[in-house]
């Protein structure tokens, strides 16, 4: 990357009316993401190939944004464009590039569970922003969309975090080095890393999951944590999967948040016993994830953990994926 430092969006390299003219439409996918990555609370995240959300965006002749359809949300998301994170982010973008005259209709197809800890709102928001960027022929670096995506997060979670939207937008592993000014660094990763995700269908709202985290901590625990994040980042650069595994320990957030997840430590014991490189909470939970060195181990882990949750009468969704290096993509 030539410029990792994203502080302010001044003049995206817009903007011509697309070749399709008014009425043109685009269908975009954006990926789910795993934030925190065990030892990188609030500063690390990565994208996966599945699940993800889809947006179909159509240009209309009439200024303003409408949301004509939302599927897969069990009626939980608002159709009001002033209250939906997708339309709010897109609106901020349009204002910033001086195109408040543009009229848009949005269909949002949720292909992943809401409140899962997999960056559900981020995936939708990024899909929407990538759709409008594509429709307007904006050639600017996708990273320039980040501040708009964070506006959506602010609405969804009460705080403008970037550890889901940044990897959803940029793909791969992303470090948010600093929020003020915003400074985002894309990190490499070993090619052979697989990710097993299990979403136990219990309710852990993001806001509440944040509130239970301790505001005051011991320096010695913080030292342990930053030794580990430094080790994880080193392992990513060195393609050293064992170092990645040794470093993925969390003495600060996991001990508290794991209480909200059914049989968290039992699931970890099972996953590690089956050969996982590491195991932890995705974002604020309740989804959990494991890194593995191959697809077979990842599939075995999701299968066995799902069986275990079924035994507890808890439904679950499972996903097996490599890391998604591309971020959002146009489906049609």
CB closer to a copy of itself, 217 vs 259: 217
Binding residue per annotation — 116?
yes
Q: Which helix (H) or strand (E) holds 234?
A: helix 219-238
The single residue of 85, 125, 134, 153 carrying the catalytic annotation is: 153
Site map 237..276 versus a copy of itself, x via CB under 8 A: xx-x-xx--xx----x------------------------
State the Cα–Cα distance between residues 205 and 123, nearest whole angstrom: 17
Binding residue per annotation — 245?
no
State the Cα–Cα distance between residues 17 and 15, nearest whole angstrom: 7
In angstroms, give the least distance from the CB of 305 to a copy of itself. 27
In 3D space, the residue among 119, 289, 115 whose CA is nearest the CA of residue 202 turns out to be: 115
- DSSP annotation of 158 reads S
200 binds a copy of itself (CB under 8 A): no
In 3D space, the residue among 156, 161, 88 whose CA is nearest the CA of residue 121 turns out to be: 156
Residues facing 66 on adjacent strands: 105
Query: Does the annotation mark 302 as catalytic?
Result: no
214 binds a copy of itself (CB under 8 A): yes
CB closer to a copy of itself, 210 vs 299: 210
191 binds a copy of itself (CB under 8 A): no
In 3D space, the residue among 138, 102, 125 whose CA is nearest the CA of residue 54 turns out to be: 125
- Using CB under 8 A, which residues numbered 215 to 234 contact a copy of itself? 215-220, 222-231, 233-234
Query: Does the annotation mark 139 as catalytic?
Result: no
Stretch that binds a copy of itself, among 36-44, 60-68, 301-309, 314-322 (CB under 8 A): 36-44
Q: Which helix (H) or strand (E) holds 279?
A: strand 278-281
State the Cα–Cα distance between residues 55 and 30, nearest whole angstrom: 8
CA angle, residues 119, 125, 129, in degrees to nearest 5? 140
Catalytic positions: 153, 206
| Known binding positions for ATP | 113-123
Give the footprint of a copy of itself on this chain (CB under 8 A): 4-5, 39-44, 175-178, 183, 185, 187, 213-220, 222-231, 233-234, 237-238, 240, 242-243, 246-247, 252
């Amino acid at each position: 990357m030539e410029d990792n430092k994203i502080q302010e969006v001044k003049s995206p390299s817009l903007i011509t009316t697309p070749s399709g003219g008014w009425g043109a439409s685009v269908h975009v996918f954006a990926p789910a993401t795993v934030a925190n990555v065990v030892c990188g609370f609030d500063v690390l995240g990565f994208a996966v190939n599945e699940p993800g959300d889809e947006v179909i965006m159509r240009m209309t002749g009439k200024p303003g944004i409408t949301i004509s359809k939302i599927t897969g949300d069990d009626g939980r998301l608002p159709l009001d464009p002033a209250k939906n994170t997708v339309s709010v982010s897109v609106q901020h973008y349009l204002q910033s590039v001086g195109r408040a005259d543009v009229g848009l209709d949005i269909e949002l197809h949720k292909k992943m569970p809401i409140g899962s800890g997999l960056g559900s709102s981020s995936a939708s928001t990024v899909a929407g922003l990538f759709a409008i960027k594509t429709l307007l022929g904006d050639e600017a670096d996708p990273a320039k969309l980040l501040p708009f995506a964070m506006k959506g997060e602010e609405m969804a979670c009460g705080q403008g975090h970037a550890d889901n939207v940044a990897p959803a937008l940029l793909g791969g592993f992303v470090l948010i080095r600093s929020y003020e000014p915003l400074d985002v660094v894309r990190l490499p990763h070993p090619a052979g890393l697989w990710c097993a995700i299990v979403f136990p269908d219990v309710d852990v709202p993001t806001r509440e999951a944040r509130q239970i985290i301790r505001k005051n901590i011991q320096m010695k625990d913080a030292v342990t944590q930053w030794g580990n994040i430094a080790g994880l980042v080193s392992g990513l650069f060195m393609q050293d999967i064992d170092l990645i595994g040794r470093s993925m320990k969390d003495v600060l957030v996991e001990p508290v948040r794991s209480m909200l997840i059914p049989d968290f430590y039992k699931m970890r014991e099972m996953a590690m016993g089956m050969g996982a490189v590491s195991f932890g909470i995705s974002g604020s939970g309740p989804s959990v994830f494991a890194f593995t060195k191959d697809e077979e181990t990842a599939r075995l882990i999701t299968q066995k953990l799902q069986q275990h949750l079924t035994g507890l009468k808890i439904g679950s969704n499972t996903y097996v994926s490599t890391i998604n290096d591309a971020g959002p993509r146009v489906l049609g």
